[in-house]
A and B are shown apart, each in its own frame.
Chain A
Amino acid sequence: MSPPDLAPTEPILAARGITKRFPGVLALDHVDLEIQAGEIHAVLGQNGAGKTTLMNILFGLLQPDEGALYLREQRIRFRSPHDALARGIGMVHQTRRLVSAHTVLENIALGHPRTRGFLNLRSTRLEVEALGNRYGFTVPLGARVWQLSEGERQWVEILKALYRGAEILILDEPTAALTPPEVKTLLAGLQTLVRDHGVTVLLVTHKLPIVMAVSHRVTVLRSGRVVARLRTADAAEESLVQHMIGRDIAFRTMNRSAEMGRPLLQVEQLSAFNDKGLLALRGVSFSLREGEVLGVAGVTGNGQEELAQVLAGLRPAASGRVRLDGRDVTRLSPLQRWRMGVGYIPAERIEVASIATFSLVENTALNYHFDPAFIRRGLLDNAGLEQLTQRIVTTYNVKAPSQYARAQHLSGGNLQKLILGRVLSRNPRLLIAHLPTQGLDVEAAAFVRATLVEATAEGAAVLLISEDLDEILSLSDWVAPIYEGRFGAIIPRAEAGAETVGAMMAGVGMKEAGVR
């Protein structure tokens, strides 16, 4: 591949001084981004770094609070994606935006300026076929979208953008839902588009191997700021990792007794499929003792959700085994596991861990409706649940108008404290905490962390799944970076450096199928 002209020429698309605020969050802070014509430009960053916000601004979905966009050095303003499309910028979103009951051709024609009013699918078909021939790829135009694989759907979206006349393609996490062979096809196809047809590609990802494999230049975002702008050829993986995770990690190691109890949980070669039927968890093994914390560090979407759900009994294991206290629990139901002392704090506190229209007391009952201590002849012991809720509200400092207020009126932090308190009130022997401090303010997050430490002091084993490396390193006895459904290693805390763990989270030193 011939590298494009990397001399400081005029960029085809530039964002200068872009700032975007959301309530309480500075999503982008004076971000500059310059894209040269005919290159693959990668925007690298962890979740929450501001990548998607920036792309949405480039595509006209969001308006910047400050700063401006320049197309071929002319200042432009996009009021909607419609304007961006009219200027030759196409976007392929992380989630598909196709009508699955329609054919590929109908989807491509949908929304095209020429297909307003009368639909002339025959001429559209000829044009799209010609376009496909020119770019050298074929998509079954007559097939219905639901019949296609995820990789083929992505090509439909790319073709649709090209048919709209896109010369600049923005792809947001394009490999997130693809199988390894599909990733390989996608990356090869993108390289062809850029090399032979002068298309410019802006690739948004948190996967370092993909950046290294195909991009010409890379811009690294962290916490809404540009922290590095490099030619990929000049960039070392290690330095990119450092830029991505930052060097300002403050260690606030919690003081904990080092005595470890009996072995409690053994996980052997555990694999599981995600909702799309792809193998998302690929042979994970570990064991955990009472009073121990295993921190699973990784960017969301690398199999953590599946791991937590399999352990909680909410998702079947594809293969492998889970043993609790020596007993094989792989096939037990969630209810049986609750009874055995497994406590689960899901990441989705509103969607899964609580019922918005139920009162606090009724939400407490979610973990107690099966408990003989709270049932008398089939009737729920409401007085007992009320007392328990009161105790949780007081102990965990949950701010709520009353015990009979609906959960939907609680702030995220207070809801999380209620859920944490409810699960911990069962005195679980194994606690699975998935993103327990996500979205919480500093004070609430510190409280939640301290509570987790307290639980271990009482003998609970904790599986902490988090994206926050700081949190993982300060709480865990063992650190397991997870990438593409595999643990990179299981490292004792004392030996776990932020760089090593961060690199493994980004897939460095691990095989990425389809790239290498």
Chain B
Amino acid sequence: MRLGRYELTLEPRPARPAIFTALTAVVAILLALALSSFLFLSSDTRLIDAYRAVFSYAFFNPHGVLATVHRSIYLLFCTYAFLVPFRAGLWNIGLPGQVYAGGLAAFAVPFVLRTHNPQTLALPPGLLIVLMIAAAAAAGAATGGFAGLLRAKLQVNEILVTMMLNSILFWLVAYMIKEGGPFMSATGEGESFGLPSSLHAPLLLGVPVTAVLALCVAVLLDLLFAKTALGYRIRAFGENPAAARYGGIIPVALSLLVFLLGGAFAALAGYHYFAAVPGVYKIPGNYGYYGDLGFYGIIAALIARGSSLGAVPIVVLFAGLSVGARFAQGELRLPFGVDYALLGLLMMTFVASHVLYHFRFGWRRIPSEALQPVPTELPRG
């Protein structure tokens, strides 16, 4: 951009010290919080009280902390679901659909085995829980793999396919749990049957086992990409598919594999929320809310720049702020949707900080000879 005798440009930033990464993240968070003051203006409370309500509930209130943990686990799986295909250069936008597929498959196990009635347990509950997790992962993998296969074999855009699958699976869940669907609860309409207590995922220190799984995967995924041959192939394919093919990597197999993995992770998120969070243990009528929440996994993976461990603090922040803002909304009569607005602001400041992380503003004087009008010679006569 030219301003008088000066020129303003965006220039790539050459050296990026590590401290800078953390600093930009902190600035982004503070900026988002500052901007969110506008959301709180309409309430009668002082700004500082509004922030205190959000944070104290999310990170210090016993109920709030548990809600934050449950939501973090859910978002972490969604993050992995996006992150693995993303490292291979592919975009898995099908998180909600894969979440639903996971939830449906997990509930299909007790339904098919006719064990949702506690009196007729045919198999040991431990085995059934493992079966539910496996079924969820398999269903998510199949949903993701469908997109991966179309992408690999027919070059169908994976973004379109996964988006469409979201819609299909959303309505499939509605069919299953509402208006007399097979999974409909006997008592109330609009939600699924509840899991018998023997099929609730076991708790460790009040937290479902899925937390252990989520944290292990965080470590394993970073190791996969840093150390293993498979991780190398995924990264190589993501950075330069032509070079990967030249180096003997088979694009079809790789695209399919990352989508199988991604779909399985999203399905585990679905399993977690519908079958492992205390107090839920069913597919609730507002399952669409959790599907949409899954998209924050995309943002977390992008902000963490593809690192699964790096995504953990970001996910916890997202989870805490959304839980805390939802609480503050009720408590302080804040406008409806303040939780999503806060997440949205955070997302925007993070994305903006990314640009400033990679670029800086250049401000230089234009040399005077360059400003002179270009001489033109008109034809004689």
A interface vs B, CB < 8 Å?
Answer: 71, 74-77, 79, 312, 314, 333-335, 338, 344, 346, 348, 351-358, 362, 365-367, 369-370, 375, 378-380, 382
In the complex the two chains form, what is the Cα distance from A378 to B246 in whole Å?
Answer: 21
Q: Closest approach, in angstroms, between the C-beta of A365 and any C-beta of chain B?
A: 6
Q: Closest approach, in angstroms, between the C-beta of A69 and any C-beta of chain B?
A: 10
Q: Which of A71, A333, A369 lies in contact with B232, CB distance below 8 A?
A: A369
Cβ-defined contact, B379 with A74, below 8 A: yes
**Nearest CB to that of A354 among chain B residues?**
B243
Cβ-defined contact, B242 with A352, below 8 A: yes
Known A358-B236, A380-B228; judge A314-B246 contact (CB<8 A): yes
Q: Closest approach, in angstroms, between the C-beta of B238 and any C-beta of chain A?
A: 10
Cβ-defined contact, A366 with B228, below 8 A: no
Cβ-defined contact, B248 with A352, below 8 A: no
Given A366-B247, A382-B227, 14 more A-B residue pairs with CB atoms under 8 Å apart are A74-B381, A314-B245, A334-B245, A334-B247, A344-B246, A351-B243, A353-B246, A354-B243, A355-B244, A357-B239, A369-B229, A375-B229, A378-B228, A380-B232
Cβ-defined contact, A355 with B243, below 8 A: yes
Residues from chain A with Cβ under 8 Å of B243 in the complex: 351-355, 366
In the complex the two chains form, what is the Cα distance from A335 to B236 in whole Å?
Answer: 15
Cβ-defined contact, A75 with B379, below 8 A: yes
| A-side interface mostly | loop
Cβ-defined contact, A352 with B232, below 8 A: no
In the complex the two chains form, what is the Cα distance from A353 to B246 in whole Å?
Answer: 7
In the complex the two chains form, what is the Cα distance from A348 to B230 in whole Å?
Answer: 25
Q: Closest approach, in angstroms, between the C-beta of A59 and any C-beta of chain B?
A: 17
In the complex the two chains form, what is the Cα distance from A71 to B235 in whole Å?
Answer: 55
Residues from chain A with Cβ under 8 Å of B230 in the complex: 378
**Which B residues, 130 to 183, have Cβ-Cβ distances below 8 Å to chain A?**
none
Residues from chain A with Cβ under 8 Å of B377 in the complex: 75-77
Known A79-B374, A375-B229, A380-B227; judge A369-B246 contact (CB<8 A): no
In the complex the two chains form, what is the Cα distance from A367 to B229 in whole Å?
Answer: 12
Residues from chain B with Cβ under 8 Å of A367 in the complex: 247
| Top 9 A-B residue pairs of the complex, sorted by shortest distance between their CB atoms | A335-B248, A74-B379, A366-B247, A355-B240, A352-B242, A334-B248, A355-B239, A355-B243, A378-B228
B interface vs A, CB < 8 Å?
Answer: 227-230, 232-233, 235-236, 239-240, 242-250, 374, 376-377, 379-381
Known A338-B248, A352-B246, A355-B240; judge A379-B228 contact (CB<8 A): yes
In the complex the two chains form, what is the Cα distance from A37 to B244 in whole Å?
Answer: 52
In the complex the two chains form, what is the Cα distance from A354 to B242 in whole Å?
Answer: 9
Q: Closest approach, in angstroms, between the C-beta of A123 and any C-beta of chain B?
A: 31
Residues from chain A with Cβ under 8 Å of B380 in the complex: 74-75
Q: Closest approach, in angstroms, between the C-beta of B114 and any C-beta of chain A?
A: 41
Known A338-B248, A353-B246; judge A378-B239 contact (CB<8 A): no
Residues from chain A with Cβ under 8 Å of B381 in the complex: 74
Residues from chain B with Cβ under 8 Å of A352 in the complex: 242-243, 246
What are 14 A-B interface contacts by the 8 Å CB criterion? A74-B379, A335-B249, A335-B250, A338-B247, A351-B240, A352-B246, A353-B246, A356-B240, A358-B236, A358-B239, A367-B247, A369-B236, A369-B247, A378-B229
Known A379-B228, A380-B227, A380-B228; judge A369-B233 contact (CB<8 A): yes
Residues from chain A with Cβ under 8 Å of B236 in the complex: 355, 358, 362, 366, 369
In the complex the two chains form, what is the Cα distance from A240 to B128 in whole Å?
Answer: 83
Residues from chain B with Cβ under 8 Å of A357 in the complex: 239
Residues from chain A with Cβ under 8 Å of B246 in the complex: 312, 314, 334, 344, 346, 352-353, 366
Q: Which of B232, B249, B376, B379 lies in contact with A362, CB distance below 8 A?
A: B232
Cβ-defined contact, B233 with A379, below 8 A: no
Cβ-defined contact, A333 with B248, below 8 A: yes
Cβ-defined contact, A379 with B227, below 8 A: yes
Q: Closest approach, in angstroms, between the C-beta of A404 and any C-beta of chain B?
A: 13
In the complex the two chains form, what is the Cα distance from A355 to B248 in whole Å?
Answer: 14
Q: Closest approach, in angstroms, between the C-beta of B358 and any C-beta of chain A?
A: 13
In the complex the two chains form, what is the Cα distance from A71 to B227 in whole Å?
Answer: 65
In the complex the two chains form, what is the Cα distance from A334 to B227 in whole Å?
Answer: 24
Q: Closest approach, in angstroms, between the C-beta of B340 and any C-beta of chain A?
A: 34
In the complex the two chains form, what is the Cα distance from A75 to B381 in whole Å?
Answer: 11
**Nearest CB to that of A385 among chain B residues?**
B232
Q: Closest approach, in angstroms, between the C-beta of B176 and any C-beta of chain A?
A: 39
In the complex the two chains form, what is the Cα distance from A75 to B380 in whole Å?
Answer: 8
Residues from chain A with Cβ under 8 Å of B227 in the complex: 379-380, 382
Q: Closest approach, in angstroms, between the C-beta of B233 and any C-beta of chain A?
A: 6
Q: Closest approach, in angstroms, between the C-beta of A506 and any C-beta of chain B?
A: 31
**Nearest CB to that of B374 among chain A residues?**
A79
In the complex the two chains form, what is the Cα distance from A369 to B232 in whole Å?
Answer: 8
**Nearest CB to that of A76 among chain B residues?**
B379
In the complex the two chains form, what is the Cα distance from A338 to B240 in whole Å?
Answer: 19
Residues from chain B with Cβ under 8 Å of A77 in the complex: 376-377
In the complex the two chains form, what is the Cα distance from A100 to B124 in whole Å?
Answer: 62
**Nearest CB to that of A348 among chain B residues?**
B242
Residues from chain B with Cβ under 8 Å of A366 in the complex: 236, 243-244, 246-247
Cβ-defined contact, A333 with B239, below 8 A: no
Q: Closest approach, in angstroms, between the C-beta of B222 and any C-beta of chain A?
A: 14
Q: Closest approach, in angstroms, between the C-beta of B253 and any C-beta of chain A?
A: 10
In the complex the two chains form, what is the Cα distance from A348 to B249 in whole Å?
Answer: 18
Q: Closest approach, in angstroms, between the C-beta of B81 and any C-beta of chain A?
A: 22
In the complex the two chains form, what is the Cα distance from A333 to B254 in whole Å?
Answer: 15
Residues from chain A with Cβ under 8 Å of B249 in the complex: 335, 369
In the complex the two chains form, what is the Cα distance from A29 to B381 in whole Å?
Answer: 31
Q: Closest approach, in angstroms, between the C-beta of A85 and any C-beta of chain B?
A: 16
**Nearest CB to that of B376 among chain A residues?**
A77
In the complex the two chains form, what is the Cα distance from A367 to B249 in whole Å?
Answer: 10
Residues from chain A with Cβ under 8 Å of B247 in the complex: 334, 338, 366-367, 369
